[in-house]
């Protein structure tokens, strides 16, 4: 049976529980264990798919088509494993499932309550994750902070999980803040003491503490916290601010957090961790001596997390090529023909990311036009591909009112239209690349598997018009040849746009080929 690690947070939000969870996941995976990760989110939305990116950052899509919290992106990038719909659990999903069962009479007329029905449903999600993943260890992050009313059913469920699964098959890690007061020049342990006390009042005795701090925590302070928390000193670990995020993997390993975990689980004769590649990567990142500036022209640029996976993918490619990527955040709503040169002339490359809706599309089209005409490397993603074809249709093929019907439902020349069943296309799909095209050379294969999140499709009525042009290439289609997946220009330094989201499968140690080629076109 799988072992379960539950990670809770205390004192304040944004402590980096997700990064802590992912780092522990990578350490355990490097020891030869199969790891699967989950996020329990206390919001009542069923999933983030209909939430504004301003509310919750990007929507990360798993290979099986689940629209999830951006933390799953962190998990996948750190542990280099594809997660699934069983990784993303929200209060909305839990209540929806319970209500559907009640409507079908599956509770035999019982009064439905938080305990046991909601908590049982939460525990059932743990069991499903274990069964479907067949993992040695399931790491589950509990969203929110101990003390939040929204998180109480999850905390009660993981409390019950120890009773059901057993002491040595469940492990509680509490991630909490140890602030440093500059005026007093002191580390303060009281907030952590209160947080642990509150967790214990809910029936959960943490087995391990991970202390987040800006300053190194003294042995005396750690001993004080351990004593108050009824823990041995060797169960208290620190998570200091780091200049490179992946350093946390190495730091927690150096403190031997994995030994504490495996000892609790009574898992013996497990191979030693192999983290050499991460050590090399961290050292390389610290010595990047060249800089490239990439403009991300989007509609949610005020919240950078809305394009988190795109930024991470650019960074991965930059690491590989030995360059630091700096982002020029460009609000597409403010871009027009008069100022586009001023806004973009200092950038070495341009990304047109995904997004839904009408707002800011003309600014994106203007940026695409600027990149095309001035031979500036450009990568269009999802909506970015749609608008790339709209720009080309208007300005090269002479189809003046060309547009996607997502923006203009009354256009007489809809380059992109809705699919028949009006559903979003989600998850991983096989794509066939045309031979002897740029994208074919980039991937060095004829078939690829990429993740999608879109609801509009290229109108094949215009296919022949594009195919008759000598410069633009419709270079990739879905496996059934019914959906256009990529376009490119022959006469251009780098001008590629894809319908899918390559950023979802890029990894720090395995940068995505498209981002690698994009950065390479800038620095060569």
- For residues 66 and 454, the answer to whether their CB atoms sit within 8 Å is no
215-220-226-229 Cα dihedral, nearest 10 degrees: -90
Asked if 503 is an active-site residue, the reply is yes
Q: Which residues of 184-217 are buried (b: 16+ CB within 10 A; e: fewer)?
A: eeebebeebbbbbebbeeeebebbbbbbbbebeb
Question: Pairing between strand 484-489 and 472-478?
Answer: antiparallel
- Give the span between the Cα atoms of 351 and 380, in whole angstroms: 6
Report the alpha-carbon distance of residue 106 to residue 29 in Å, rounded.
39
Peptide bond into 196 cis (omega under 30): no
Write down the catalytic residue from 238, 429, 503, 512.
503
Closest listed residue to residue 351, CA positions, set 473, 490, 495 = 495
Q: Which strand (E) or helix (H) includes residue 149? A: none
Strand 67-68 versus strand 60-61 pairing type:
antiparallel
Strand order in the sheet with 414-418: 403-404, 414-418, 456-458
What phi-psi label fits residue 52: left (phi over 0), alpha (psi between -120 and 50 degrees) or beta? beta
Reported residue count of the chain is 524
Q: 76, 382, 403, 488: which is the annotated catalytic residue?
A: 382
Within a 10 A sphere around the Cβ of 463, how many other Cβ atoms? Answer: 12
Distance CA 31, CA 17 (A): 21
Has 238 been annotated as catalytic? no
Active site residue 501: yes
Catalytically annotated residue among 86, 454, 501, 512: 501
What angle, 0 to 180 degrees and rounded to 10, lies between the N-to-C axes of helices 119-133 and 91-103? 100
Number of Cβ within a 10 Å radius of residue 246: 23
- List, by residue number, the catalytic residues: 382, 501, 503
């Amino acid at each position: 049976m799988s072992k379960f690690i539950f990670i809770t947070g205390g004192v304040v939000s944004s402590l980096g529980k997700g990064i802590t969870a992912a780092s522990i996941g990578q350490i355990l995976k490097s020891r030869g264990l199969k790891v699967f990760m989950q996020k329990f989110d206390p919001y009542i939305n069923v999933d983030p798919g209909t939430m504004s990116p301003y509310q919750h950052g990007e929507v990360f899509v798993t290979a099986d088509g689940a629209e999830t919290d951006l933390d799953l992106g962190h998990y996948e990038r750190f542990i280099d494993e594809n997660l699934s719909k069983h990784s993303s659990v929200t209060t909305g999903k839990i209540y929806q499932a319970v209500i559907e069962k009640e409507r079908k009479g599956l509770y035999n007329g019982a009064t439905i309550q938080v305990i046991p029905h909601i908590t049982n449903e939460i525990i059932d999600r743990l069991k499903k994750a274990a069964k479907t993943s067949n993992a040695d260890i399931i790491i589950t992050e509990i969203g929110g902070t101990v003390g939040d009313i929204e998180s109480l059913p999850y905390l009660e469920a993981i409390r019950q999980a120890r009773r059901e699964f057993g002491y040595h098959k469940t492990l509680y890690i509490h991630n909490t803040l140890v602030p440093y007061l500059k005026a007093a020049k002191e580390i303060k342990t009281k907030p952590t003491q209160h947080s642990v006390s509150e967790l214990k009042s809910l029936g959960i005795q943490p087995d391990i503490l991970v202390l987040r701090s800006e300053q190194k925590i003294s042995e005396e302070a750690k001993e004080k916290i351990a004593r108050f928390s009824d823990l041995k000193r060797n169960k208290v670990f620190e998570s200091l601010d780091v200049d490179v995020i992946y350093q946390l993997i190495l730091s927690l390993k150096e403190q031997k957090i994995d030994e504490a975990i495996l000892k609790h689980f009574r898992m013996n004769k497990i191979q030693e961790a192999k983290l050499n590649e991460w050590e090399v990567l961290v050292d390389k990142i610290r010595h990047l001596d060249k800089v490239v500036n990439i403009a991300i022209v989007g509609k949610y640029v005020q919240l950078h997390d809305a394009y988190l996976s795109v930024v991470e993918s650019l960074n991965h490619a930059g690491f590989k090529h030995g360059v630091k990527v700096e982002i020029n955040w460009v609000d597409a709503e403010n871009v027009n023909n008069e100022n586009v040169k001023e806004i973009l002339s200092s950038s070495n490359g341009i990304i047109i990311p995904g997004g839904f809706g009408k707002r800011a599309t003309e600014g994106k089209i203007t940026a695409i036009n600027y990149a095309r005409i001035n031979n500036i490397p450009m990568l269009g993603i999802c909506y970015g591909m749609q608008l790339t074809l709209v720009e080309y249709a208007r300005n090269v093929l002479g189809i003046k009112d060309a547009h996607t019907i997502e923006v203009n439902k009354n256009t007489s020349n809809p380059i992109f239209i809705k699919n028949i069943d009006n559903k979003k296309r989600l998850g991983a799909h096989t794509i066939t690349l045309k031979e002897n095209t740029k994208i074919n050379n980039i991937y060095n294969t004829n078939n690829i598997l990429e993740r999608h999140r879109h609801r509009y499709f290229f109108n094949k009525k215009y296919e022949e018009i594009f195919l008759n042009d000598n410069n633009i290439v419709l270079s990739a289609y879905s496996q059934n040849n019914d959906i256009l997946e990529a376009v490119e220009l022959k006469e251009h330094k780098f001008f590629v746009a894809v319908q899918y989201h390559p950023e979802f499968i890029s990894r720090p140690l395995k940068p995505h080929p498209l981002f690698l080629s994009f950065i390479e076109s800038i620095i060569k």
